[in-house]
Amino acid sequence: MTVTTSLRDRFAGSVVVPGDPGYDDARRVYNFMIDKFPAAIVQATSTADVQDAVRQARAAGRDLAVRGGGHSVPGFGTGDDAIVVDLAAINHVRVDAENRTARVGGGATWATFNEKAAEYGLATTGGVVSSTGVGGLTLGGGIGYLARAHGLSLDNVLSAEVVLADGSVVTASETEHPDLFWALRGGGGNFGIVTVFEFRLPPASEILAGLLFFELADAPEILRYFRSFIADAPREYGGFPAFQKAPPLPFIPEDRVDDTFLVVVSCWNGDHEAGERIMQGFRDVAQPAAEMVAPMPYAVLNGLFDGLLPRGLQHYWKAVYATDLTDEAIAVHLEHGSKVPIVNSTVHLYPINGAVQDVPSDATAFGHRDAAWAVVLAGMWPDPADNEANIKWVKDYYADLAPHSAPGGYINFASGDDQSKVRDNFGVSYDRLAEIKRRYDPDNLFHLNQNIAPAAE
C-alpha cells in the first residue's frame, strides 16, 4: 500500500496528492517564491488526524512539514516529497469570557481569533497582519501592538495540547511537562504539533489607531523622538516606525501616492484623550504629510495592512535585533529605508520593551528579552522577474545594519538562508532547547523550521 492510499484510508480530513484537482493550490504556501511538491497534504480536522499523519510520515521515512497559517517566509509549511500536515481546519476559538481565556485551534489565524475575542471586548498580543497563523507566530515569539502591555503572544499561553514526535498527545503547562512548555514558548515548531493553545485574554476593544506619514527629511528627528519616547512610554502604547511607500488611501494626497515616508504606526489601548496627546507629541516634532488617526476596534487595526499583502507575493526577509537605536543605525535606516522598492515591501522597527522585559529571560525559551528592538526588513513584491533587485535591497540593507545590531534575529522574521545563524537566533536559550529537543524529538522529525539539532547524548 502506498503512503497516500494508506493516508486516504485513515483520515477524517482530506488528503490531497499530486494529480488531484486541488493539489496545485494545496501545495502552495503564502510566499509564492516557495515552489515545492509534497507527496501528500493532509488537511487535518482533529488531533487524531494529526497523530496519524505523524505516525505515517515516520513509518514512510518522509519529511514532515507542519503548516499553521502558512506564512513562514522560508516556506517551512511545505517540502518536496514531504507529508504536509495542514492545520487550517483546526481553527476553532472558544472564549471563556468569565475567566478571560480562550482555547484556540493550532491552525487558526489571527483574523479568526481576534474576531471571536472581540465579541467579548478581549484580545491578546498577536501579529499586525490578520491572515498570519496563531501557531507559528506564537511558538516563535509573537510581536504585536499589545506586546508592551501584555508581553509577547507566547507570554499569554497558559497551556498547549501537543502531538509529539512518537504520535502521542500531551498537555504542556507550568505543571505538566514544564520542560516542554518552556521550550514551546520560543522554540518554534521544533518540539511537536500544537493542536490547541490556551491563551490568557486581556481586555482590548475600541483602541485609538494612528498612521502618521512623515517626510523622509523629518525621519531622523522622528526616529530620535520615538527612541526616547518609547523607552518609558505608557504601556497602553504599542506601535512602531516603518519605512513605507504610500498606498492609494483616501487620506493620502493623490500626488503623494507611491512616495516613500517614515510612518509611525500607533495603537493606543486606553483613554482616547490621552492617546490623542501621544499622537500630538509626534506632530510637535514634525508636521505629518498625511495622517489617519481614528478610534477603531482592535481587530480592525490588525487587518489594516492585509490589503497590501495578499497570498501569492514573492517574499525575502531579514531579521535584526538591536539593544539600541543609535544615531548610526538611524543613518543606515535612512539610507536604505528611503529606497524601499515597492508599496508591498516595508521595514518595521518593533520596540520589544515594556511587559516583554518584565518576564525573566529564563522563564520561556524566547532568547532575546534584552533586545529592545526587533527589526524586520521585509521584501515583498508580486513579480518573480523582480526577485534579484528586491533581494539585493534586503541583503544590502542587512549588511550595512550588521555593525549596529545585536547577534541573531527574531526566528519568525529570519530567512531560509539563515540556518547558520540559528544558535544566535535562539540566543541564551539554545543549549537548553537542544537538550529538551533530544528528550522529545531525538530523531529530529520536526526539522522543517529554524531547526534546533538535538543535543548529543
Sites of contact with ligand FAD (CB under 6 A): 30, 66-73, 76-77, 87, 106, 127-129, 132-133, 135-137, 139-144, 188-189, 193-194, 309, 412-413, 448-449
CB of 161 to ligand FAD, least distance (A): 10
The residues with which 242 forms a beta bridge, in sequence order, are 263, 348
CB of 249 to ligand FAD, least distance (A): 18
CB of 53 or CB of 309, closer to ligand FAD: 309
CB of 218 or CB of 452, closer to ligand FAD: 452
| Spatial distance between the Cα atoms of 80 and 10, rounded to a whole number of angstroms | 22
Q: Check residue 188 and give left, alpha or beta (phi > 0: left; psi -120 to 50: alpha).
A: left
| Spatial distance between the Cα atoms of 295 and 207, rounded to a whole number of angstroms | 6
CB of 73 or CB of 394, closer to ligand FAD: 73
Which 3 state secondary structure label does DSSP give 213? Answer: strand
| Spatial distance between the Cα atoms of 127 and 294, rounded to a whole number of angstroms | 20
Residues 93, 117: contact at Cβ < 8 Å? yes
* CA-based nearest residue to 181, from 452, 368, 440, 442: 440
Those residues whose C-beta lies under 8 Å from the C-beta of residue 119, and which sit 6 or more positions away, are 95
Beta-sheet pairing, 290-297 with 206-214:
antiparallel
Report residue 171: phi and psi, to 5°: -105, 135
Residues 45-61 as b or e (16 or more Cβ within 10 Å = b): bebbbbbbbbebbbebe
CB of 181 to ligand FAD, least distance (A): 14
Residues 117, 298: contact at Cβ < 8 Å? no
Which 3 state secondary structure label does DSSP give 457? Answer: coil
CB of 110 to ligand FAD, least distance (A): 9
CB of 149 or CB of 218, closer to ligand FAD: 149
For the record, the C-alpha cell of 350 comes out as 518593533
Beta-sheet pairing, 64-67 with 83-86:
parallel
CB of 132 or CB of 218, closer to ligand FAD: 132
C-alpha count within 13 angstroms, C-beta hemisphere, residue 172: 27
CB of 456 to ligand FAD, least distance (A): 23
CB of 30 to ligand FAD, least distance (A): 6
CB of 84 or CB of 279, closer to ligand FAD: 84
CB of 126 or CB of 218, closer to ligand FAD: 126
CB of 260 or CB of 415, closer to ligand FAD: 415
CB of 218 or CB of 375, closer to ligand FAD: 375
DSSP single-letter state for residue 28: -
| Spatial distance between the Cα atoms of 266 and 281, rounded to a whole number of angstroms | 12
Report residue 138: phi and psi, to 5°: -70, -40
CB of 144 to ligand FAD, least distance (A): 5
CB of 131 to ligand FAD, least distance (A): 7
CB of 29 or CB of 95, closer to ligand FAD: 29
CB of 313 to ligand FAD, least distance (A): 9
CB of 297 to ligand FAD, least distance (A): 18
